[in-house]
A = this chain, B = another copy of it.
Amino acid sequence: MNRYAKTHVSEGARTELHDLLGLTGAEISINTLPAGESVPFVHAHKRNEEIYAVLSGTGTAVIDGETVALAAGDWLRVAPIAQRRLFASAGGALKYVCIQVKAGSLEDYTMTDAVVV
């Protein structure tokens, strides 16, 4: 396994990083949803927690029927079982990151997992 891998994400509808970077603990996508459009389906997950980060624009997430406003700087955790669908506002595109990780997989982290050299 390489010690590191780097890629640059330019403008585009969707970039998936798992294969590009050789990720083993997450799938990460960078997405642009055009103004007024939505992800074309409602979905949930079997085992994966999703974390959404809004990079720019505004929109909404509908989660189990509840509408959650989204704006740049917002971070959202969605449990595997929750039914979700994202919408971009009519006024502009919604750019966001979606991080998919296995729920319950994290053990130690930060200072308890780090080794300071």
Contacts and interface: CB of A to CB of B under 8 A. Distances in A.
Given A4-B76, A7-B75, A79-B3, A100 B105 contact: no
A13 interface: no
Q: Copies of this chain, how many?
A: 2
Interface in A21-62: 21-28, 30, 41-49, 51, 53, 55, 61
A4 B108 CA distance: 23
Given A5-B77, A28-B75, A99-B28, A45 B106 contact: no
A109 B18 contact: yes
19 contacts: A2-B79, A3-B79, A4-B78, A4-B82, A6-B74, A6-B75, A24-B105, A25-B26, A25-B49, A25-B103, A26-B26, A26-B99, A27-B106, A27-B110, A28-B99, A43-B115, A44-B117, A48-B106, A105-B105
